A = this chain, B = another copy of it.
Amino acid sequence: MSNRPGEDDLIARFFAPIAAPEGLGLIDDAALLLPPAGAGLVLTKDALVAGVHFFADDPPNAIARKALRVNLSDLAAKGAEPVGFLLALALPGDWTADWLEGFARGLGEDANTYRCPLFGGDTVKTPGPLMVSITALGRVAGGRMVPRTGVRPGDLLYVSGTIGDAALGLQLRLGAPALGELDAASRQFLLDRYLLPRPRLALAPAMRQMAHGGMDVSDGFVGDLAKMLGVSGVSARVDLARLPLSAAAQAAIALDPALFQIAATGGDDYEILAALAPDEADAFEAAAAQAGVAVTQVGEALAAGEAPLFLGRDGAPVAFARGAFSHF
């Protein structure tokens, strides 16, 4: 097709305009970064495949944004500020210049918004589905990264934003019958939360300063929290009555109470789990409020490595048949 450029032209036309100086105009084999003195570099890599992590017919700008944002969410949970990213894009045979223009526009806008410029990457063709693999680099002053393994007994457990919206949005995309009566505004809110994660980068400084342990919630609140507790060698008591739910999620669960379990265990939240000492709680809540990110205390870490105790909204222990949604 005549309007489809070759690889070099494609890079020059769509990606060079959104590249950082470190990317050297995207005409070299590599990027060159002069790391800030005394800082640690946080490196994360999340790959997304059409039909697995997003729908192939999602708008191209949303696919690009999601691919970058899921990586930025990891940086936020680690207390890191974005530095830049590299992109590998595998394009199926039917790509068009229009599609790629939308993809690059969304990517460039988010790179700008989140101050995480493009450093370089690779574009290849694939006989399979579209795949986007991003490596994001972040910076932590003094080399202090919030580890997943750092939760201590007695720590308070916090989660940012609201949980379950994206999983319910996915149910809507899949046509879940119980959600047929949901109002239009709630539908739109949940669909949008599935389509576009909101990386909580504004919370990164408070995480770095105060959190003993942290991770982002990508594979479901219950499963991811259990993972963080497990690698920290601690248990916890978690009150699901405190799980922060959006008005739209509450409306959906009112229509079908079974959806609460999907909200608590479904994936794609891209919120932050944080564990911190009780005497830091006021300062953490104040810093989060200052940053404009809602945070909710949902439980407390306990000594010993038994399975965490989840108390349901009625106060009784809950067992989850399926702790985590796995993209794998």
Show the binding face of A for B, using Cβ within 8 Å. Answer: 6-8, 10, 22, 24, 27-35, 37, 39-49, 51-53, 74-75, 77-78, 80, 86-88, 90, 119-129, 131, 133, 135, 137-138, 140, 143, 145, 147-149, 215-216, 227, 231, 326-328
Q: List 6 A-B contacts (CB under 8 A).
A: A32-B43, A33-B43, A43-B86, A49-B125, A53-B124, A128-B128
Choice from B30, B53, B88 contacting A75 with Cβ under 8 Å: B30
Choice from B35, B45, B49, B138 contacting A135 with Cβ under 8 Å: B45
> How far apart sit A22 and B148, CA to CA, in the bound complex (Å)?
14
Which 3 residue pairs of A and B lie closest in terms of their CB atoms, listed nearest first? A128-B128, A7-B328, A35-B35
> How far apart sit A8 and B215, CA to CA, in the bound complex (Å)?
15
Choice from B45, B78, B126 contacting A49 with Cβ under 8 Å: B126
Q: Are B78 and A30 in contact (CB under 8 A)?
A: yes
> How far apart sit A135 and B74, CA to CA, in the bound complex (Å)?
17
A7-B326, A45-B86 are contacts. A52–B145 as well, Cβ < 8 Å?
no
Choice from B140, B149, B328 contacting A124 with Cβ under 8 Å: B328
Q: Are B86 and A143 in contact (CB under 8 A)?
A: no
Q: Are A77 and B29 in contact (CB under 8 A)?
A: yes
Q: Are B122 and A86 in contact (CB under 8 A)?
A: no
Closest residue to A29 on the B side, CB-wise? B74
Residues from chain B with Cβ under 8 Å of A46 in the complex: 88, 122
**Most chain B C-beta atoms within 10 Å of own C-beta, residue among A6, A10, A126:** A126
> How far apart sit A48 and B125, CA to CA, in the bound complex (Å)?
9
Closest residue to A143 on the B side, CB-wise? B34
> How far apart sit A137 and B42, CA to CA, in the bound complex (Å)?
13
> How far apart sit A145 and B33, CA to CA, in the bound complex (Å)?
10
Q: Are A147 and B52 in contact (CB under 8 A)?
A: no
Distance (whole angstroms) from the CB of A317 to the closest CB of chain B:
24
A34-B40, A45-B86, A143-B32 are contacts. A126–B129 as well, Cβ < 8 Å?
yes
Distance (whole angstroms) from the CB of A96 to the closest CB of chain B:
15
Residues from chain B with Cβ under 8 Å of A227 in the complex: 8
